[in-house]
Chain A
Amino acid sequence: TWKMAVGDGGGSAQEALGLKFVEELSARTDGKYKADLFVNGQLGSEQATVNDVSLGTLDMSILASNNLAPFAPALGILSLPYAFENIDQAETIINSDIAKELVEAGINQAGVRIVAWSYSGFRMLTNSKRPVTKLADLEGLFIRVPKSDLIIKTYQSFGINPTPVAWSETFTALQQKVVDGQETPYAAIYSMKFAEIQKYLTETHYLFALEPLIISEALFQDQSADVQKAILEAGEAATEYSLSWIKEKEEGIKKELVSKYGMQIDQLEDEAEWASRAQSEVWPAYYDQVGGLEKVNAFLRTLGRDEI
């Protein structure tokens, strides 16, 4: 029995992926191989678990790709703002050679193997002050963001200075109006009950959360060929499941946010402008880190989008 750290809490896309993976793995090995899930960061912060997994003191972990990127910079490409315009593009990338290269990068740069991906949805913007439908509406809003350089830069390109607040303080900060808004995927908005204290939600698509399940490469290499195969197959099955899970889940959450909490959900009128700002102001700073402009263009080609 292995130990699997899960960054998010019960009911999250991460947990759904983990449970499905364990179920599939156990089915493929006649119940010989299993893993216990420790949700909600019980085994340490997401970034700390990367070190643990690469050292082999922890077997597996599911975490946001932007928390793996500091250890395997190539993964940063997934978090470039507007890298994906919709969920289908995310699916395309995960099933492409680009994903295979990222798995290699994870092994070489961080000593961990990505065996599955959780589709955790786009980060949506909520706030308690006013509907946001265009760039200009952002002005004067204090938005809580994670301590991530990339997201901070993205918001700066939108023209405001966001406020980094620790996740554990976020609910309190929103409730006490230390900040006006925050940005996380639907599942987090729902599980954290942000709707109780936030009235307006805007559907934004600058960052699609892809969250890898990583296993210690040393542990993986210690396994027999059969077990390795079972792990990889279980990972693929869990990834597929995650895609259908999120589509169904987000639909249900959206309905409940409106019907139960009376939240107002708006669409952006000028999202092309958001995307072009982010692309021109944020992307160039990350070309080096993700392996050069050529990598970015290969990524865009795979999606059938215009190269830069």
Chain B
Amino acid sequence: MSESSIVLVLFGSFLALLILGAPVMASLGIAALASFLYLDENPIKLVQIAFNSVGSFPLMALPAFILAGALMEASGISKRLVAIAESFAGPVTGGISAAAILACMFFGAISGSGPATTAAVGMLMIPAMTRRGYDKGYASAVTASSGGLGIIIPPSIPMVIFGISALGMTVPLDAIAKHGEFQSISIPKLFIAGFFPGLVMSVSLMTLNYIQCRRYGYKGTGEGWSTADIRKAMRSGIWSMLAPLVILGGIYSGFFTPTESAIVAIFYTLFIGLFVHRELKLKDLIHSLETTTWLSGRVLLILFTATAFGRILVEHQIPTIIADSMLGVTDNLYVIWLLIIAFLLFVGMFMETLAAIMILTPVLLPVTYSLGIDPVHFGIVMVCSLSIGFSTPPLGENLFVASGISKTPLEEVTAKALPFACVSTIAVIVIAYVPSISLTLPSWLGY
């Protein structure tokens, strides 16, 4: 049976169902099923794939981080972090919108997700910006564009998913023969590697923000920095600032695995919410559990069918074919990176991030292995590229959230967010071209 006919059945039925509007999970599942039947293989293997793809210990980090994030919101930790960022705004041109970006970085370090970051920051910062005379559309665009930092600055749910998908795959032997041994992947290592790229993305956003604010004439407050405000915000937020420290410190120092650090974060948050801030109600707790339930159920069901889909790719060595044909076009690594990033941006425009990672990792990772790209570096570039997708149409979750909060038309927010997407893209290209941005910190820390 020729490989190209399998590709046709597999990807053809998948895309057809996707366009019809079937759930991503069903589109992948039916495509895998159709391929099994076409290849005359017994589809009963789907049963074990279903059980084993989900039944893994590291994967429990996903519900744990979602729950931790939801509880932090309900316990008043998120809003205190945003308040600290706001108190730093001061007299600088574009100060308050830079503070919004800063808040996204702070919050990015505790929340695992992009839209959650946008919502938490946007609820407080968009009104704060409009009070200082900012245009609502611009205020929303800044928040939506920096919301993606939430998945780059650790902890990050997409990196957990990338790590899980990548751990299940082997390095092709001819890749090792050509490029030598590759470094191993682990979720803590990805988390550490994401730190500097997150900074690069933030700095690029802040630079454009400064330029735009100069143009629009958004000045800071006349009075200068208010040390009283800063002190007040810090005092009120001291327990909240400890939250990212607990999570990141636990992982970086090696005290906990990522799953464990999320678990500890849950109980830390419960403690703060119940006894220190006393803002956490039973109702919120139940609501957080419920949100975690359907979010996890939805994501991990896709993981099941995406694993089946990936299994067919692996068994028929399709990624090798893709890699070969790519190298047939060009063997310039810089050009190939551009192609990969463009492709990821394109996918990110239409598809939800986690689904995209689950589907694309089995396709692209073997390709990048055979090009000699470090797997951790690739994972970071992939997550960074897809993070831009949060603020690009037509499916831009962050844009929806921000325009919803500020009640400005989606088109207006989208138009003002596009320049930010452009600088973010440039930042991603830099991150791709300079591997040491991602790989220096892990090697310093002995990973």
Contacts and interface: CB of A to CB of B under 8 A. Distances in A.
Are chains A and B touching in the complex at the 8 Å CB cutoff?
yes
Contacts of A166: 56-58
B42 A55 contact: yes
B257 A57 contact: no
Given A9-B170, A166-B56, A169-B58, A178 B257 contact: yes
Given A40-B170, A44-B49, A51-B48, A177 B314 contact: no
Nearest to A168: B167
27 contacts: A9-B170, A10-B170, A10-B176, A38-B315, A40-B170, A41-B168, A42-B168, A42-B314, A43-B311, A43-B315, A44-B48, A48-B51, A48-B52, A52-B48, A55-B42, A55-B45, A57-B42, A57-B44, A57-B45, A58-B45, A166-B58, A171-B184, A173-B257, A175-B446, A176-B188, A177-B254, A178-B256
B186 interface: yes
Contacts of A56: 42
Interface residues of A, number: 28
B169 interface: yes
Contacts of A9: 170
Contact of B257 (A10, A51, A55, A169): A169
Closest 5 CB pairs of A and B: A176-B254, A40-B170, A57-B45, A166-B57, A57-B42
A3 interface: yes
Nearest to B311: A43
Interface secondary structure of A, over-half rule: loop
A212 B51 CA distance: 24
B375 to A, nearest CB: 14
B275 interface: no
A172 B52 contact: no
B170 A39 contact: yes
A48 B49 CA distance: 9
A169 B57 CA distance: 8
A71 B167 CA distance: 27
Contacts of A176: 188, 254-257
A5 B281 CA distance: 51
A172 B51 CA distance: 24
Interface string B158-178: 000000000111100100100
B223 interface: no
Contacts of A41: 168
A15 to B, nearest CB: 10
Nearest to B310: A42
Contacts of A42: 168-170, 314
Most chain A CB within a 10 A radius of its CB, from B44, B45, B56, B169? B45
Contacts of B188: 172, 176
A45 interface: yes
A62 to B, nearest CB: 15
Interface string A1-13: 0010000011000
Interface in A161-182: 166, 168-169, 171-173, 175-178
A176 B191 CA distance: 14
A70 to B, nearest CB: 14
A28 B186 CA distance: 43
Interface in B340-384: none
Contacts of B48: 44, 48, 51-52
Nearest to B307: A44
A76 to B, nearest CB: 22
B150 to A, nearest CB: 24
Contacts of B51: 48
A188 to B, nearest CB: 14
A24 B80 CA distance: 69
Contacts of B44: 55, 57
A52 B186 contact: no
Contacts of A57: 41-42, 44-45
A146 to B, nearest CB: 12
Interface string A130-169: 0000000000000000000000000000000000001011
A171 B186 contact: yes
Contacts of A169: 57-58, 257
Contacts of B257: 169, 172-173, 176, 178
A168 B427 CA distance: 32
A49 to B, nearest CB: 9
Most chain B CB within a 10 A radius of its CB, from A43, A169, A175? A169
Interface in B310-353: 311, 314-315
Given A10-B176, A166-B56, 9 more contacts: A43-B311, A44-B52, A55-B45, A168-B56, A169-B57, A169-B257, A172-B187, A172-B257, A175-B446
